[in-house]
Chain A
């Protein structure tokens, strides 16, 4: 855990605490409360232009900016890892504009902002997981018009989604959706979990933490309050299933985590490593050893100033 020093005379200090002005934060908090009150419902909000491009986490950043305070401990991951460039960039942004402590430790964080993953370690009450969402509308791939999809949600008319899954089965013999796999929230709203792998879907059900989803470009906020029922769509004869690997993590030997594939050469050699970098590091610290323990990926080059 590292605490940011007093802000020097940099551009950031000329902005309000946590970048957004207080009226904007209030507007976003109202949208969050509405989203929490109607789990899975996409609440429109007056999304602002942010100093990072749309598609790079503007929704997640606005949610974090609206709820963060100086006592928070902030973690930011992309693809499960703390050291991916965009995660580093966003973490640095909040360390500067919100004077907040940052961490890579999942258990220590009060706010975790994520893109494309839910940490392997179960979340606890009091934590908030903030998702960056590119396309909040689960039905968008089936119906391009917002006016239509809003009506479909209002009438709970989700037949089209089931037909699409059925067509998958008839074409491929299985449900071919892999990431952004649609879920039903409290048996009322169909919701996109953002492009997390379906491996992470079961983690949303009955979770102790607050799950907030922010789509900046599409200007929508939605939420899953603690202990909410979240069911991945399936059929009785084709039950929902998550990804499994024949390999274990090459570094820590984990058998039950989501793995990234790392291409080692052009002769087809590859290794599989945990996508959740903190989870993997923690397991290695506890003495777990994988078949390629000691590979350079386990010890990224130390960087100056970190």
Chain B
């Protein structure tokens, strides 16, 4: 009798959800974490949820992190399922990252570039030693970092402008004035334009893109990348309301942008020059933006005449498998019952085993 269980029903689901809420809250004698605390003090988690959730709203993303108990792909899923129901009143003008209020901007290509190297708030060069002072309650807020003597350059020239007078770096050209492809409204289609690809990568799982970028660096479809520039800061978002006919500023968003440079040997028609891979993500997301830029460049192998032999260069492989909401759902759907299909398999395997046995023991069968 031991293994027969009553099939799950509505009551079981409700009880499970209640238990989940209890586990999320943890020990009730410990103070509950507030959404504002997550928004302010776990801001990098919030950034990732906004980036992969394709929805710039710090409060919503913080709420999702809280509701998901810190499970970021789950939080991303919550935000996606919310944003899909929002009405769309229009598209903004393209943001201009040259006019970004830069908090961080570095280039690995030149020792100094117009606008200068700005280190900004970064984990780089920190020693990864656990800081036990953070475990102590009631510590005073850290001292504000000192201000620079000179105000920052604005607008901050991009890496493209450094090469502006030579044709050393390819120019990014817009393919047309058509509205950009929108994966949230249309299914994936191949071959993918760069708009579709960049949107898919921007929504793509950071871990997946990181591993792909790493595989490329290790020689599985290498692009020999060099970090032309990373910048982090706030840009204005402009929108043209129909009744006005001119752009008005409706807010600002924090962005991380990465321009990765790669060599190009040239062809019969084109002289050798540097090519670019592009990465852009909401919030402070450098690992994501850099990975995205490497993968973007690797996927341009057709344009630059490189052979396709590595996963990172394969458009269908990369774009079909980068979305963690799709991937997580489908992998985890294996938890759903499959006993109808398993019964079909069981029956077949039993039959094949019987036939196999009969083939090996013909005399025994005759004797029976």
Contact = CB atoms under 8 A, between A and B. Distances in A.
Contacts, number: 164
A306 interface: yes
A260 B339 contact: yes
Contacts of A116: 338, 340-341
Given A44-B189, A172-B352, A176-B352, A79 B339 contact: yes
A55 B2 CA distance: 31
A228 interface: no
B4 A306 contact: no
Nearest to B314: A145
B280 to A, nearest CB: 21
Interface stretch (B5-13, B37-45, B98-106): B5-13
Interface in B179-194: 184-191
A85 B8 contact: yes
B77 A178 contact: no
Interface string A204-234: 0000000000000101100000000000000
Given A21-B87, A78-B336, A179-B340, A84 B7 contact: yes
Interface of B, helix, strand, loop or mixed by DSSP: helix
A21 B85 contact: yes
B348 interface: yes
Contacts of B8: 83-85, 88
Interface string A166-190: 0000001100101110000000000
A55 B332 contact: yes
Interface residues of A, number: 71
A238 B204 CA distance: 46
Interface string B70-101: 00000001001101110100000000000000
Nearest to B345: A178
Contacts of A192: none
A217 B330 contact: yes
Interface in B1-59: 1-4, 6-13
Contacts of B3: 263-266
Given A49-B80, A262-B4, A303 B326 contact: no
B355 A173 contact: yes
A78 to B, nearest CB: 6
Contact of B187 (A219, A259, A305): A219
B339 A45 contact: no
B344 A275 contact: no
A20 B2 CA distance: 44
Contact of B340 (A47, A80, A297): A80
Nearest to A245: B347
Given A49-B81, A179-B344, A261-B346, A303 B11 contact: yes
B333 A54 contact: yes
A53 B344 contact: no
Interface string A118-162: 000000000000000010000000001111000000000000000
Contacts of A264: 1, 3-4
Interface residues of B, number: 51
A55 B329 contact: yes
Contact of B337 (A44, A54, A78): A78
B196 to A, nearest CB: 13
A47 B187 contact: yes
Contacts of B170: none
Interface string A14-33: 01100111000000000000
Nearest to A45: B187
B330 A54 contact: yes
Given A48-B84, A49-B84, A258-B340, A85 B190 contact: no
A251 interface: no
Contacts of B9: 83, 85, 88, 300, 303, 306
Contacts of B340: 79-80, 116-117, 179, 195-197, 258, 260, 275
Interface in A243-261: 243, 245, 258-261
A195 B332 contact: no
Quick one: which of A49, A144, A146 has the most chain B CB within 10 A? A49
Interface centre among A58, A78, A147, A178 (most CB of B within 10 A): A178
A89 interface: yes
A46 interface: yes
A87 to B, nearest CB: 9
B343 A259 contact: yes
B161 interface: no
B4 A297 contact: yes
A55 B347 contact: no
5 contacts: A48-B84, A54-B325, A55-B332, A220-B187, A260-B343
Given A44-B187, A54-B330, A79-B340, 11 more contacts: A21-B85, A46-B184, A55-B330, A79-B337, A116-B340, A146-B320, A178-B348, A179-B340, A245-B347, A275-B340, A304-B11
Interface of A: 15-16, 19-21, 44-51, 53-56, 58, 78-81, 83-86, 88-89, 92, 115-117, 134, 144-147, 172-173, 176, 178-180, 195-199, 217, 219-220, 243, 245, 258-266, 275, 296-297, 300-301, 303-306
Interface of B: 1-4, 6-13, 77, 80-81, 83-85, 87, 184-191, 316, 320, 325-326, 328-333, 336-341, 343-348, 352, 355
